[in-house]
Structure 1
């Protein structure tokens, strides 16, 4: 297994296809949540795609966005997932560690699916707002503050 972070313009067509497929398989099909996954943010120059590769197969993924929050520049981590056959082996930690290594120097925000808020807390994220429903799934906004000396 190896985990890398890549800009969109450095992805080959097979990698793009793999990203679209794994996101569709997990978020749209498995979680029964039809939503507009292709939101235009994948191709932004600052966006990094975190790919967990097992030989040539994409086993996990996350997306790191250069985002804004009330006039402050922050990183946003989202679309964090593992393929079903990669789960239960601690590999999601590798994805998050790689995503956080990309997201340096600023606070990091994410909207955790609420049952995973405790897992995100192990990386230093704290709840930053009330729970909300997104596409029928409870989410909890969270923030990793790096301005307090973390």
Structure 2
């Protein structure tokens, strides 16, 4: 089996959930915060307050592996909270899942879930600048100048609502 086929098969074996905050179990919430801390604070050597009071108002898209460990995660933020538009944020793949294609699957599912929850909303993200091509492959376009957020270069990107 090729490496790409194996990665695709691994991603197909994941269990996906999209839940509002008040339906998350304590175990799920713990794993979400642990993964966000590992990626955004420790790996990126960025001291910041991750708990920003947006989680209780957001939906949370999670991919679980066969050992009930979090493989990938993002949150769906309602319009008016981070930006005027709806948003995808805290997008991450756990270290052991990077390179498997789970990030691409996560973003596809995140866009689909956001469109189900907020059908008329455009999607704005604050993307780390090095991921511009990745997000661009989903139709996002850069709509801001480069800026620093927590000393990391970012750009805002927008995916239109698809309305005419």
Q: After TM superposition, give the deviation of residue 3 of structure 1 in Å.
A: 2.1
Number of equivalent positions: 145
The 2-side partners of 1:73 and 1:115 are apart by: 24
Stretches of structure 2 lacking an aligned partner (at least 5 in a row)? 1-13
Q: Greater strand percent: which structure?
A: 1
SS in 1 for 2:138: coil
Runs of 4+ in 1 over 3 A off after TM superposition: none
**What is the correspondence of 1:89-100 to structure 2 with a 5 Å cutoff?**
89-100=100-111
What's the offset of the Cα at 1:144? 0.1
| Corresponding position of 1:54 | 65
- Measured after TM superposition, the shift of residue 147 of structure 1 is 4.3
Output the TM-score relative to the length of structure 1.
Answer: 0.91
Structure 1 unaligned blocks of 5 or more: none
Question: 1:66 is matched with which residue: 61, 78, 101?
Answer: 78
Report the TM-score when normalising by structure 2. 0.84
**C-alpha separation between the residues in 2 aligned to 1:116 and 1:3?**
23
The two structures, once aligned, show a CA RMSD in angstroms of 1.5
Counterpart CA distance in 2 for 1:7 and 1:148 is 26
Report Cα offsets for 1:10-64 as digits up to 9, x if no partner.
Answer: 11100000000000000000100011100001011xx110101112110111011
Bigger Rg, which one: 2
Helix, strand or coil at the partner of 1:102: helix
Q: Which has the higher helix share?
A: 2
